[in-house]
A and B are shown apart, each in its own frame.
Chain A
Amino acid sequence: MRTLDLSLVALVAVGAVGAIGAIGLSGCATSPFQRAGNADDVAAAVARSRPPAAPARSLVFLVLSGTGGPRLAAYDLAASKILWTQPTDVTTRVEAGNNVIVHGIKGTGPGGTVIGRDLETGNVLWQRPLQSKERLFGYVVDGDAAFLVVQSSAAPGRPTGALFSLDARTGVERWHHELPSGRVAGPAARGGVVAVPLDSQYVLLFDGQSGLELGQVLSTEEAANFVRALPEGLFYGSRGLFLLGRSTAHGTRRSPGYLSARLPDFVRPVYWYDLYRPEQAEYSAIDRNRILWRVTVDGDRPQFRDGLAFVHDYRFFFAFDAGSGALRWAYGAPNSDAVASADTGHAILFVTADGEIGGLDPITGARIYEAHLPGEIVRGASFDAEGFAPAGAAAASKPPDVLTALTAIIADPDQRFPVLKLFAIEELGRQPGREVTAKLIDILQKEGLAPLAYQKAGEMLVARRDAGSLDLITAALRAHADYAEKRAAPPVEILARAVGALGPLGRALAPDLAAELRLPETSPAAAAEIARALVAIGAQESLPALRDFLSLYRADSSYERDPTALVAAAEALLKLGGPTDRALLLYLAEEPHTATGLRTHLTRALGETAPRGVAPAPPTAAAKN
């Protein structure tokens, strides 16, 4: 391994750019991060980064398994064909350069190997096995160079970190730079500048040609877990993203270059891989659950392109207004998880585990690309298709219907997405129209719905106050439980709340609600909601049903422990009824077989609502017995 003359590095570094990372390497006791946050250094370094030329290719590298064994394939999206396939068991992600790709096999620890391949043929160009004390944190290809960040435990004491530059065609080391900390992360490179996160809050910038340190970024409010190179700039961040530049050399959320999207709770705020975690350099679940984003840059201010942030959640893709968090579109891959995805700037591309390659229009969510690899199992994929979008496809395809997509998510039997389902239900409930009310009622009647999802669907139905859908609620209420017809009881409790929320507008449903009070499958909780709803809609015509309910159950031992339903029915009688009902309630209050809780409540309630000058006597000793 060739190493730089450290004293020369130090001299050049101090003399040329004033950086002191190299001083640290020469053994000085001062902090190696003394120039951290220096805006001039960082601005100068970023200015050296040349935007990459737009590539003329649209490739996706597929990590395949299955009957054909472990393989790596290059697929041409524009030509819809596989260019080459090579037998290999890829573990760490494929990174593409000008004419070389780099990937890893056998993991990131000792025994793992970094491999360079010819992009045109897939043939192996070189291999760099990891040494017994080495751990790979990541690599990137920029132009004709490959950069690796490796942590080493060879020396006693704390592990050390190093950035290696290799000739991408030959694998020969050009230089390496001992990093000032062993707590390292994978690199990113853009147009001759290499960025390496260190110690969670620093990002060191290096000249790709010489290895000289150019600047140090200090992030004080958010960890700098990732660095990412895009045509629009270099970025770092974790819960949000910072466009690397003068304003973010000392990164805070107030920096003009800081950006984060407003997204629903179900979204994991993963803007890029946590490069401090070597396992995230491998194809894994993190590829299936993250945020996809691109930006436009105005000066030092980034904005999400078209104001959108995209979320890949296993089988589903969503576009959100990055400012408001409003859902723009949703798409569900029909059969299996999308194992990889990318925003090319003009298309959301993805590959599913069962070999489907798809593309979505970022603005509408319309399907604009589709190809299949029959019989293949895809473990992972990396795209090298910046700017790719099938010409004319967006106009030809139909955007997905949000209601259909949300309903499909809710109805999906896959149990892995409970939080996503809650989001889908909430989002569905926000949509206007009778159709939505019908779907919510339908969801509430589905067997096996998770309790939280049921609760959420109920809340959304109640909150809609959809007086235009009374017929739908009526139909649902009338579909009583029937064992012979294999029909479960309707969600009476929720439906009653929905009717109650309508107030007098729901009055027409009083007979149907009252009828539920006489059915054996109506739970006490539902009966309580019915009684409350009858009060809310002013259903005096339901007084007989309330009286019957009270009579039927007032002495039932099952209501001794929880008399809520009886109390609600009594309250309804008190509010809707007249003197005769007060007499009935007085009887119930005094009759010793009446549930204790109900008697207690009635004694108080009758006293509180007694006509002036008439106060009911407390229960007699006999009645108490």
Chain B
Amino acid sequence: MKRRRLCVLWIALVLTSSGGVLRAAVAPSGSAPEGAPTTKSKAKAKAKATPPTATMPAARLESLRLALAGADDGAAIDAAATLGASGVAGARDPLIEILAAGATSARAQAALDALGQLSEAHLLGKEQTTFDLLDLYAGHRAPEVRRRAIKVLGSIADARAVPTLMERLGDAAPDVRAAAAEALAARRDTKAAKRMFALLKVGDAGVAGPLATIATPDLVPQIAELAGTIDDGIVATALGEYAKRTDVPDRLRVDVLRTIGRLSGAAATTALVEYVASVPAKDDRPSKREAQKLLDQRGTDQ
């Protein structure tokens, strides 16, 4: 009875709200806010854009929706997980709704995780509502909420996500910065390299890998020059990841590996080991031999 009442309230809310992300949030079937696309029209749009997916009985979906908004936090989190793992396109709407209406931090995180799962399964879609909502949560005061929102946002292959990801590269929380960096690196957004390098210069370990993914060759010497000014392990990680890129000329790889060889610490050794391991066994490229030689020397030195 209580859940039913909340649902009614929510419907009333969405119907009457007239601005903010809330206004655009997806409402339950038949109660979409004025100006926002209806569930039916969205479903049609989705049908055009995405391949057919599994379905979930409407009653089951409704029970999960109610659980999400119910009094029991544990049940709500379980419902979010179920929706995320469902592989059902319709699972998105209850998650968007609960986020739009506002939830406890634990529920919001669970809903964002579930949206992330749907996104990985290409079931999230690219509607403005989704972007707006994720954008809003990317500015949440709780870093763990922001990180999750950034992760979902980053998983959407759409340029609208980029400004927020770029902004969160300057987040105060290292985990959020790292999530933004990984998302930008995943989409090979080279415009982010400058900001990532600025972070690397202050020893932000979370951007070492992502920066290596998008770094242009002219940035490599600048990364190498950071040795001694920041933790050598961070420099080794960045250079090691760069060396593993398939688009890097092998001659440049050799130079990079030699630079790694001059760095101290276990991270440098790990970078060399990982590089050797990343090259197919049959491939006897010079850089692999160089990395092995450097490893042998490190072993001898020790």
Measured CB to CB, the closest approach of chain A to B204, in angstroms, equals 8
Contact A545 B9 (CB under 8 A): no
B107 cross-chain contacts in A, Cβ below 8 A: 555
- In-complex Cβ contact of B19 among A486, A543, A555, A579 (8 A): A543
In angstroms, Cα B199 to Cα A519, docked, is 20
CB contact under 8 A between A547 and B19, given known A520-B139, A520-B140: yes
CB contact under 8 A between A558 and B141, given known A520-B172, A551-B22: yes
The yes or no answer to B81 lying at the interface (CB within 8 A) is: no
Contact B12 A587 (CB under 8 A): yes
- In-complex Cβ contact of A520 among B18, B21, B141, B177 (8 A): B141
The yes or no answer to A592 lying at the interface (CB within 8 A) is: yes
Contact A551 B102 (CB under 8 A): yes
A484 cross-chain contacts in B, Cβ below 8 A: 169-170, 177, 195, 198-199
- In-complex Cβ contact of A583 among B12, B103, B171, B198 (8 A): B12
The yes or no answer to A393 lying at the interface (CB within 8 A) is: no
A553 cross-chain contacts in B, Cβ below 8 A: 102, 141
Beta-carbon contacts under 8 Å, B1-26 to A: 1-2, 5-6, 9-10, 12-13, 16-23
Beta-carbon contacts under 8 Å, A483-502 to B: 483-487
In angstroms, Cα B292 to Cα A43, docked, is 105
- In-complex Cβ contact of B172 among A481, A546, A558 (8 A): A481
Measured CB to CB, the closest approach of chain B to A158, in angstroms, equals 68
Contact A593 B104 (CB under 8 A): yes
In angstroms, Cα B22 to Cα A544, docked, is 8
Contact B9 A590 (CB under 8 A): yes
The yes or no answer to A550 lying at the interface (CB within 8 A) is: yes
Measured CB to CB, the closest approach of chain A to B149, in angstroms, equals 10
Contact A579 B16 (CB under 8 A): yes
Measured CB to CB, the closest approach of chain A to B222, in angstroms, equals 15
The yes or no answer to B100 lying at the interface (CB within 8 A) is: yes
Contact A584 B103 (CB under 8 A): no
Q: Which of B12, B19, B107, B171 has the most CB of A within 10 A?
A: B19
Measured CB to CB, the closest approach of chain A to B143, in angstroms, equals 8
Contact B170 A485 (CB under 8 A): yes
B104 cross-chain contacts in A, Cβ below 8 A: 555-557, 593
B102 cross-chain contacts in A, Cβ below 8 A: 550-556, 593-594
Contact A519 B171 (CB under 8 A): no
B18 cross-chain contacts in A, Cβ below 8 A: 543, 580
In angstroms, Cα B155 to Cα A181, docked, is 91
The yes or no answer to A372 lying at the interface (CB within 8 A) is: no
The yes or no answer to A614 lying at the interface (CB within 8 A) is: no
Contact A483 B171 (CB under 8 A): yes
- In-complex Cβ contact of A547 among B17, B142, B172 (8 A): B17
Q: Which residue of B lies closest to A489 (CB)?
A: B172
Measured CB to CB, the closest approach of chain A to B286, in angstroms, equals 36
The yes or no answer to A337 lying at the interface (CB within 8 A) is: no
Binary per-residue interface labels of chain A (25-61) against chain B in the complex, 1 for a CB within 8 Å, 0 otherwise: 0000000000000000000000000000000000000
Q: Which residue of A lies closest to B73 (CB)?
A: A593
- In-complex Cβ contact of B16 among A480, A583, A590 (8 A): A583
Beta-carbon contacts under 8 Å, B186-220 to A: 195, 198-199, 202, 204
Q: Which residue of B lies closest to A488 (CB)?
A: B172
Q: Which residue of B lies closest to A554 (CB)?
A: B102
Contact A548 B103 (CB under 8 A): no
Binary per-residue interface labels of chain A (110-144) against chain B in the complex, 1 for a CB within 8 Å, 0 otherwise: 00000000000000000000000000000000000
Measured CB to CB, the closest approach of chain A to B201, in angstroms, equals 9
In angstroms, Cα B1 to Cα A543, docked, is 32
A550 cross-chain contacts in B, Cβ below 8 A: 102
The yes or no answer to A398 lying at the interface (CB within 8 A) is: no
Contact B137 A580 (CB under 8 A): no
Contact A587 B10 (CB under 8 A): yes
In angstroms, Cα B145 to Cα A553, docked, is 12
Contact A518 B136 (CB under 8 A): yes
The yes or no answer to B248 lying at the interface (CB within 8 A) is: no
In angstroms, Cα B21 to Cα A545, docked, is 8
Contact A551 B16 (CB under 8 A): no
In angstroms, Cα B76 to Cα A26, docked, is 101
- In-complex Cβ contact of B6 among A518, A522, A544, A591 (8 A): A591
In angstroms, Cα B71 to Cα A544, docked, is 27
In angstroms, Cα B9 to Cα A622, docked, is 13
The yes or no answer to A521 lying at the interface (CB within 8 A) is: yes
CB contact under 8 A between A592 and B71, given known A484-B170, A580-B18, A584-B22: yes
The yes or no answer to B266 lying at the interface (CB within 8 A) is: no
A594 cross-chain contacts in B, Cβ below 8 A: 102
In angstroms, Cα B102 to Cα A584, docked, is 12
- In-complex Cβ contact of B146 among A520, A558, A587 (8 A): A520
B170 cross-chain contacts in A, Cβ below 8 A: 480-485, 487
Beta-carbon contacts under 8 Å, B143-164 to A: 143, 146
The yes or no answer to A625 lying at the interface (CB within 8 A) is: yes
In angstroms, Cα B105 to Cα A593, docked, is 11
In angstroms, Cα B146 to Cα A592, docked, is 24
The yes or no answer to B101 lying at the interface (CB within 8 A) is: yes
Contact A580 B141 (CB under 8 A): no
A551 cross-chain contacts in B, Cβ below 8 A: 20-22, 100-102
Q: Which residue of B lies closest to A588 (CB)?
A: B102
In angstroms, Cα B18 to Cα A518, docked, is 18
Beta-carbon contacts under 8 Å, B207-260 to A: none
Contact B2 A622 (CB under 8 A): yes
Contact A591 B9 (CB under 8 A): yes
B12 cross-chain contacts in A, Cβ below 8 A: 583, 587
Q: Which residue of A lies closest to B6 (CB)?
A: A591
- In-complex Cβ contact of A587 among B9, B195, B204 (8 A): B9
Q: Which residue of A lies closest to B100 (CB)?
A: A551
- In-complex Cβ contact of B13 among A518, A520, A548, A584 (8 A): A584
In angstroms, Cα B132 to Cα A518, docked, is 11
Q: Which of A484, A545, A548, A555 has the most CB of B within 10 A?
A: A484
B6 cross-chain contacts in A, Cβ below 8 A: 591-592
CB contact under 8 A between A548 and B22, given known A520-B171, A579-B16, A622-B5: yes
Measured CB to CB, the closest approach of chain B to A592, in angstroms, equals 6
Q: Which of A482, A580, A593 has the most CB of B within 10 A?
A: A593
In angstroms, Cα B172 to Cα A141, docked, is 67
Contact A483 B16 (CB under 8 A): no
Q: Which residue of A lies closest to B9 (CB)?
A: A587
Measured CB to CB, the closest approach of chain A to B229, in angstroms, equals 15
In angstroms, Cα B18 to Cα A583, docked, is 11
A556 cross-chain contacts in B, Cβ below 8 A: 102, 104-105, 141-142
In angstroms, Cα B22 to Cα A584, docked, is 10
Measured CB to CB, the closest approach of chain B to A109, in angstroms, equals 58
A591 cross-chain contacts in B, Cβ below 8 A: 6, 9, 101
Contact B13 A583 (CB under 8 A): yes
Q: Which residue of B lies closest to A579 (CB)?
A: B16
Beta-carbon contacts under 8 Å, B165-193 to A: 167, 169-172, 177
Q: Which of A487, A552, A555, A592 has the most CB of B within 10 A?
A: A552
> Could you list some 22 contacts between A and B, CB below 8 A?
A518-B139, A520-B139, A520-B141, A520-B146, A520-B171, A543-B18, A544-B21, A546-B20, A548-B20, A548-B136, A551-B20, A551-B22, A551-B102, A555-B104, A556-B102, A556-B142, A584-B13, A584-B16, A587-B12, A587-B13, A594-B102, A625-B71
Supply 11 further A-B pairs (C-beta < 8 A) apart from A483-B204, A518-B136, A543-B19: A485-B198, A519-B139, A552-B136, A552-B137, A580-B16, A583-B13, A591-B9, A591-B101, A592-B71, A593-B104, A594-B102
Query: B-contacting residues of A (Cβ < 8 Å)?
Result: 480-487, 518-522, 543-548, 550-558, 579-580, 583-584, 587, 590-594, 622, 625
Across the A-B interface, the 9 shortest Cβ-Cβ residue pairs = A544-B19, A482-B170, A544-B20, A547-B20, A583-B16, A551-B102, A548-B20, A484-B170, A580-B16
